[in-house]
Structure 1
Amino acid sequence: MTTDLETALLRAFVTSVKAGSISRAATALGHSQPALSQQLRRLERVVGQPLLHRAATGVSLTTTGEALMPYAERILALSSQALQVSRSTLDGHCGVGLLEDLATPVLTSALAEFTHFHPDITLELVSLPGPAMREAFVSGRVDLALCDPAYLPEPSRWTARMPLVWAQGPGIDIAADPLPLVLFSQPCRWRDPVLQTLERSGRRWRVVFESTSLAGVQAAVRAGLGVSALLPPNLEPGTVAPSLPELPEVEFGLVRSSATEGDRLVDAVETLLRRLV
Structure 2
Amino acid sequence: MAKDLETALLRSFVTAVRAGSISRAATALGHTQPALSQQLRKLESAVGRPLLHRSPSGVSLTRAGEELLPYAERILSLSAQALTATGRALTGRCGVGLLEDLAAAQLPQALADLARLHPGATLEVLSLSGVTIREAYHAGRVQLVLDEATDLPAPPRWTVRRPLVWAVGQGVDPAADPLPVVLFTGTCAWRTSVVETLD
If the length of structure 2 is used for normalisation, what is the TM-score? 0.51
Structure 1 ranges of 4+ moved more than 3 A: 82-85, 151-154
Residues 1-277 of structure 1: matches in 2 within 5 Å?
Answer: 86-150=86-150, 152-199=152-199
1:144–1:116 CA distance, 2 compared to 1 (3 A): same
Identity of aligned residues (%): 54
If the length of structure 1 is used for normalisation, what is the TM-score? 0.38
In structure 2, stretches of 5+ residues that fail to align are: 1-81
SS in 1 for 2:159: strand
Contact preservation (8 Å) 1:85, 1:117: no
What's the CA shift for 1:175? 1.3
What's the CA shift for 1:133? 0.8
**Separation of aligned partners in 1, 2:83 and 2:109:** 17
Q: Which has the higher contact order (CA 8 A, sep 6+)?
A: 1
What's the CA shift for 1:177? 2.6
Output one character per residue of 1:71-126: Cα deviation in whole Å (capped at 9) or x when no partner.
Answer: xxxxxxxxxxx988515222222111122222253344223312221111211111
SS in 2 for 1:165: coil
Contact preservation (8 Å) 2:131, 2:149: no
Contact preservation (8 Å) 1:130, 1:151: no
Aligned-residue Cα RMSD (Å) equals 2.5
1:83–1:98 CA distance, 2 compared to 1 (3 A): farther
1:83–1:135 CA distance, 2 compared to 1 (3 A): farther
1:106–1:135 CA distance, 2 compared to 1 (3 A): same
**Separation of aligned partners in 2, 1:84 and 1:111:** 23
1:94–1:84 CA distance, 2 compared to 1 (3 A): farther
What's the CA shift for 1:172? 2.5
In structure 1, stretches of 5+ residues that fail to align are: 1-81, 200-277
**Separation of aligned partners in 2, 1:161 and 1:130:** 16
**Separation of aligned partners in 2, 1:83 and 1:185:** 47
SS in 1 for 2:198: helix
Contact preservation (8 Å) 1:95, 1:141: yes
SS in 2 for 1:95: strand
1:198–1:105 CA distance, 2 compared to 1 (3 A): closer
> For this pair of structures, how many residues does the alignment match?
118
1:157–1:87 CA distance, 2 compared to 1 (3 A): farther
